[in-house]
Amino acid sequence: METPRGKKELIEVFGNIYEYINEDGTLKSREWEDKILGFCYLPFPMILAWDKSKTILRFRCHKLLSGTFDLVFKIILHEKLEGYCQHFGGCYSFRVQVGSKKVSTHAWGVSIDLNPVGVISYCLEHSISCLK
């Protein structure tokens, strides 16, 4: 799959979320989530960034990317880089971009926040380079 460039291609590949948004900016129903979401299953536990007493072994993401995300985290484990990816900040979340009124790519379930209180993880950058 080619990486979508811009909002038009994002909608073409991952669906038109705007058809499911009310005038007040909320989702009309769970239909959007039911239509587009799948799961990524993690090969190692990650700590929730907003509740460090909890860990996860799966998260919701766009169903077209669940296999890719599964593979990336398997590569992270294989390369012994999971120590760089300790805190999970989220993937699917219906919301606007921070400081904006634009719908976030998290609303499509195509963005992942790892270690959100620091710099971009070396593990993710390394894993993406392995996929190229």
Q: Is residue 26 one of the residues assigned to a domain?
A: no
Cα separation, 4 vs 52, in Å, equals 33
**Tally of domains within the chain:** 1
Q: Is residue 43 one of the residues assigned to a domain?
A: yes
Give the model's pLDDT for residue 86.
86
Domain that holds residue 102: 31-131
Average pLDDT over residues 95-113: 84
Q: Is residue 5 one of the residues assigned to a domain?
A: no
Average pLDDT over residues 65-78: 95
Q: Is residue 49 one of the residues assigned to a domain?
A: yes
pLDDT reading at 83 higher than 50: yes
Q: Is residue 68 one of the residues assigned to a domain?
A: yes
pLDDT digits (tens, 9 = 90+) for 37-60: 999 999 999 999 989 999 999 999
pLDDT reading at 128 higher than 70: no
Binning pLDDT at 50, 70 and 90, where does residue 116 land? confident
Contact between 88 and 114 under an 8 Å Cβ cutoff? The reply is yes
